Amino acid sequence: MLYGCQHRGRDSTGFALYHEATADQLMLRFLVGDGSEAKGAIDHIKEILQEYNATIVEEETIGNNYRVRVIFTGDIQAFSYALDHAAKVISVGSSLEIIKDIGDAHQVDERYHVQSSLGTHGIGHVRLATESDVKPEAAHPFWATGFADIAIVHNGQITNYWKMRRALESKDFEFRTENDSELIAVFLAERLSQGTPLEAALAQSIEELDGTFSFLVSTKDELGFAKDHLAAKPMVKYESDELVAIASEEVSLNRLFPGQTISITEPLPGTYFTWSK
Amino acid sequence: MVQVDLATLSVTEANRTMRQLAEQGHDLEVINPDARHHIGVGLVAPVKVHIRGSAGYFCAGLADGARFEVDGNAGWGLADNIYHGSVVVNGNASAIAAVAIRGAEVVVKGNLGSRAGQVMKSGTLCCGGNASFMAGYMMYGGRLIILGDSGEKVGDDLTGGEIYVGGKIQSLGSDVQQTDIGRDESDSVMEFLERYQLPFSGELKKIVNAGKKLRYKNEEARTRPIPFFTFSGTADYWNHKVQEDIFIKSQIGRYRIRGYGASRPLPHFTDLAFKHDLSAAGTDADVLDKIDLETKIGDKSGATPLSLSMPVMIAPMSFGALSKSTKVALAIASRLSRTSENTGEGGLTDDQRREADQIIMQCLGGRLGWNIHDMRRANALEIYISQGAKPGFGGQLMAKKVTKELAEIRGIPAGIDLRSPSRHPDILGADDLIIKIEEFREATDYKLPISLKLGAGRVRDDIKIALKSGADFVELDGSQGSTGASSSEVLEYVGIPTLAAIQEALDGLAEIDGSGQIPIVIMGGIKDGADVAKALALGANATAVGTAAIIAGGCISCMQCHVGTCVVGIATQDPEHEKRYNVPAEALHIHHFLENVRWQLASIVDGLGYTDFRQLGRDDLVALTPEAAEITRLPYAPEYSRKPKPFAQFKTLLTERF
């Protein structure tokens, strides 16, 4: 599907993939760079792991990522904020792994063997870097900083970004970028952590976030979308008994069914929906 | 019927093949379309095209005469700007179906996405299902038939044309009303539905313009124009112009409108000076033979570039704001001085095309005058995002200027206070812009350079998008740039000066390692060869002159361009006024002015010891004011602004410093 959407951007590509969770285990992914820089970052990460009594189950360095599975049962928010001071955290989750880097979908797939990964659901993104430089940390999907297993991909612009961010910061949530997609992720994660169902959190996002956006959110068990009232950012959906697929354009969805005419629908402006695993 | 297989051909190859086959009269069948974009763009032969599946963005865009049928769905901008022929979609169409169509019949059997028929001029768009919000937004003519429900704000700010709704009208847009439907109309709609086998048995409701926003309610009092030089540059708060301004506002109760750009003093190229002694410059009669001023612009992605005898173009100004005679004079001058003319918003007339050797055709959000045939006879295309005089705002053309001829070219009703949309229907983000540029490339077979015109607002961000969009060059316009009509507060206070604009553009590119990767043509208040030389030294690749060119051609700077009764026949469509304009004489005046700019530029390049204008650089410049130094980060050296008399003393000063 991302190949079909490549014309919208080929600066960076990312995937948020969900696997079956193992009890009391967390998969952590970091951006550590190369060579000695990577070694320093990994050493630093391990110090934090020790400090928080996280036991390493398996670890791997792939591309410029460091990926480590740990046994951890403490406060994930404090743990992940601490980790983030050691190296750039890409994702934290019992079943979530985010893979993202600069390059188009083919290049990132080749570097990280995305095709060989098995799982239940996921979201992906191709990025056209327009305001900032092309950097792996600016690629989507965004992890909801501080919250396990929540990821987001987003097309659009949140115009009340600073207002919303300050409100969340006053509740001691931290932000790692100035990207509005991270804001959406943290906004939703905060609502979910308060016990709000994803569906209701999406409804609130449409009313409270200002701007123009189409976004997808995924959690361990759910997948959802929201589209603002102006609907300036496209979104189309294919749904059958076996599969739900959502993309910016039909040309992406059609990649799943080459040569066929598929029945798709376009979510109406100001609407949202969720699916459970 | 000949098959074209998109499983084996790229869309570009398929479109080329389709064009060739269509010219030979073959009907076409497109298989494996898989919702790809730009299928059938620019097809101008009366053949049938059957698309066996879904089509992506801009299917049948900029076509003329062909009859398309799409088995599946269609993406954004179905039948964009189509002239004649028909498009039938058996599924749904996404946003802005039939955007800016100028004729043709577009039928969508399923539902329509938002803003269907935006800025359409004539023809019919019909949908069997429901339409999303703002169907018929800012339409200028034609008819829109919605057999299902209308969606919110149907017909918002439409100027002309009719909307018929079979189902529920969710809500009416601004300045529209529901009205009775005549027997003839109803018969004509039913005949259309029958022809396309669309079953319908209910009652149609008709929506038309309500006439409340087409004209400004209160006319602005005419005053004896107080010319530019008597009110600009003074620290006097309650001068005559300010008093006049307050008085007129007290009478009309709305913003005022005038022509020209920012008139208050702003940092400008005048606030820069050359570091080196130029006292010898201008003494060499053969300077033009020594200095290379030739430049090509627009070949970044393989298109045929504009070939300019000097890095000075004529800025975009429309037939509409200006009289046809003025546009012809500018065209002649551009040919004589071997540079380029630009259509502005007003479309391309045969006279302009005949007289100009190189012409850039501008595409705006209202798509006024925009069409495939004129695109193909232009030498470059320009996507107007905004302009320096009023960044972020749409165009205005007062009723007096919207004559029958002009209305016809633009495809709008005559005699309205024309307000053009402030944004493009199909460019709502950088990714959309890429797809739009690709459509124009498909339509013109990748032969024409495509530029982006940016009004100076958030230049640092915009230039990065421009670089990523794939455009061949950027035209950047600062707030000293003029316009035919805008609100006076906007002219004065919205946007940033030209000097700041070029610096921000260069800084923005540097931030993403994009320096030198996209040529920048800077404009807005450039008045002579010295300004041009300074702009080039700062880092622009070329410049354009608009106001200076029309002043050279007789403009008296009264700033009443919007009124339509220009005493010298420039900013008018009134034949009585226009006949005062002597085209051959003014063309020569503009040409002479351009030649003077050339000579000044060459002399400065020569005086600095260079042989090519591309050798000019920041090191050649200093700033004379703290503001200009702050903006450009050039060294602040006010001593350079000392009057050059006595000349010897000035020379000594220079010698002492260097």
B113 in reach of chain A (CB within 8 A): yes
Instruction: Report the pLDDT value the prediction gives residue A127, as an integer from 0 to 100.
Output: 93
- A chain contacts of residue B53, beta-carbon cutoff 8 Å: 254, 259-261
Q: Which residues have CB under 8 Å from A33's CB, separation 6+?
A: A41, A64
Interchain pair B35, A254: CB under 8 A: yes
Give the ipTM of the model, two decimals please.
0.91
Q: Where are the domains of chain A?
A: 3-21+95-276
Q: Which two tokens stand for residue B283?
A: 């003494």
B73 in reach of chain A (CB within 8 A): yes
Q: What is the pLDDT of residues A160-198, one digit of tens each?
A: 999 999 999 999 999 988 889 999 999 999 999 999 999
Question: A8, A10, A251: best mutation site toward chain B, by most B Cβ within 10 Å?
Answer: A251
Say which residue the tokens 């013109």 belong to.
B444
Instruction: Report the pLDDT value the prediction gives residue A222, as an integer from 0 to 100.
Output: 95
Nearest CA of chain A to the CA of B121: how many Å? 23
Please spell the DSSP secondary structure of chain A, one letter per residue. -TGGGGGG--SEEEEEEE----TTEEEEEEE--SHHHHHHHHHHHHHHHHHTTPEEEEEEEETTEEEEEEE--S-HHHHHHHHHHHSEEEEEESSEEEEEEES-HHHHHHHHTGGG---SEEEEEEE---SS---GGGSSPEE-TTSTT-EEEEEEEETTHHHHHHHHHTTT---SSS-HHHHHHHHHHHHHHTT--HHHHHHHHHHH--EEEEEEEE-SSEEEEEE-TT--S--EEEE-SS-EEEESSHHHHGGGSTT-----B-PPTT-EEEEE-
Fold match flag (B2-209 vs B260-607+615-639): no
Q: Is B503 left (phi over 0), alpha (psi -120 to 50) or beta?
A: alpha
Interchain pair A262, B54: CB under 8 A: yes
- In terms of pLDDT, which residue wins out, A117 or B68? B68
B34 in reach of chain A (CB within 8 A): yes
Which residue of chain B is at minimal alpha-carbon distance from A129? Answer: B468
**Could you tell me the CA-to-CA distances from B50 to A173, A255, B21, B417 in Å, in that order?**
55, 21, 14, 42
Smallest Cβ distance to B7: which of A259, A262, A268? A259
DSSP 3-state of B89: strand
Vertex B136: Cα angle to B130 and B139 (nearest 5): 165
Interchain pair A7, B435: CB under 8 A: yes
Neighbours of B237 (CB within 10 A): 6
Q: Where are the domains of chain B?
A: 2-209, 260-607+615-639
Say which residue the tokens 């606030």 belong to.
B271
Alpha carbon dihedral B529, B534, B536, B540, in 10-degree steps, equals -120
Smallest Cβ distance to A251: which of B56, B431, B465? B56
- A chain contacts of residue B73, beta-carbon cutoff 8 Å: 250, 264
Q: What is the DSSP letter of B322?
A: B
A255 in reach of chain B (CB within 8 A): yes
Instruction: Report the pLDDT value the prediction gives residue B127, as an integer from 0 to 100.
Output: 97
Which residue of chain A is at minimal alpha-carbon distance from B131? Answer: A268
* Chain A residues 8-27 with a CB less than 8 Å from chain B: 8-9
B316 in reach of chain A (CB within 8 A): no
What CATH fold (topology level) applies to the domain B260-607+615-639?
TIM Barrel (3.20.20)
A268 in reach of chain B (CB within 8 A): yes
Say which residue the tokens 């404009």 belong to.
B523
| Gap between the Cα atoms of A97 and A14, Å rounded | 11
Interchain pair A130, B133: CB under 8 A: no
Interchain pair A212, B428: CB under 8 A: yes
A40 in reach of chain B (CB within 8 A): no
Nearest CA of chain A to the CA of B73: how many Å? 8
- B chain contacts of residue A157, beta-carbon cutoff 8 Å: 429
**Could you tell me the CA-to-CA distances from B26 to A267, B4, B45, B47, B606 in Å, in that order?**
38, 11, 10, 7, 60
Smallest Cβ distance to A264: which of B57, B73, B133? B73
Interchain pair B71, A261: CB under 8 A: yes
Interchain pair A129, B512: CB under 8 A: yes
A253 in reach of chain B (CB within 8 A): yes
DSSP 3-state of B438: helix
Interchain pair A269, B95: CB under 8 A: no
Please spell the DSSP secondary structure of B603-650, one letter per residue. HHHHHTT-SBGGG--GGGEEESSHHHHHHH---B-GGGGS---SHHHH
Closest to B124 measured CA to CA, from B196, B62, B180: B196
CATH class of B2-209: mainly beta
The residue type of B152 is: E
- B chain contacts of residue A263, beta-carbon cutoff 8 Å: 91
Is residue A249 a contact partner of residue A219, using CB atoms and an 8 Å limit? no
| Gap between the Cα atoms of B242 and B397, Å rounded | 25
Nearest-10 crossing angle of helices B430-443, B11-23: 30
Is residue B298 a contact partner of residue B305, using CB atoms and an 8 Å limit? yes
Closest to B323 measured CA to CA, from B564, B584, B591: B564
Q: Which residues have CB under 8 Å from B510's CB, separation 6+?
A: none
| Gap between the Cα atoms of A16 and B145, Å rounded | 43
- B chain contacts of residue A256, beta-carbon cutoff 8 Å: none
- Burial-class residue B197 by CB neighbours within 10 Å (0-12, 13-18, 19+): exposed
Smallest Cβ distance to B431: which of A128, A251, A254? A128
Instruction: Report the pLDDT value the prediction gives residue B231, as an integer from 0 to 100.
Output: 54
- A3-21+95-276 carries CATH number 2.60.120.260: no
Question: B3, B6, B51, B431: best mutation site toward chain A, by most A Cβ within 10 Å?
Answer: B431
Question: B36, B54, B78, B441: best mutation site toward chain A, by most A Cβ within 10 Å?
Answer: B54
Smallest Cβ distance to B36: which of A8, A251, A266? A251
Neighbours of A35 (CB within 10 A): 8
Q: Which residues have CB under 8 Å from B97's CB, separation 6+?
A: B74, B77, B78, B79, B89, B106, B108, B112, B113, B116, B117, B125, B127
| Gap between the Cα atoms of B89 and B68, Å rounded | 8
A93 in reach of chain B (CB within 8 A): no
* Chain B residues 231-260 with a CB less than 8 Å from chain A: none
* Chain B residues 363-422 with a CB less than 8 Å from chain A: none
A269 in reach of chain B (CB within 8 A): yes
- B chain contacts of residue A260, beta-carbon cutoff 8 Å: 53
Mean pLDDT, each 10-residue run in order, chain B (658 residues): 96 97 97 97 97 97 98 97 97 97 97 96 97 96 97 94 97 95 94 96 94 76 60 62 83 88 90 88 86 97 97 96 97 98 93 97 94 97 96 82 88 83 92 96 97 95 95 97 91 95 97 95 97 98 98 92 92 94 98 97 95 97 97 95 54 46
Question: A250, A254, A266: best mutation site toward chain B, by most B Cβ within 10 Å?
Answer: A250
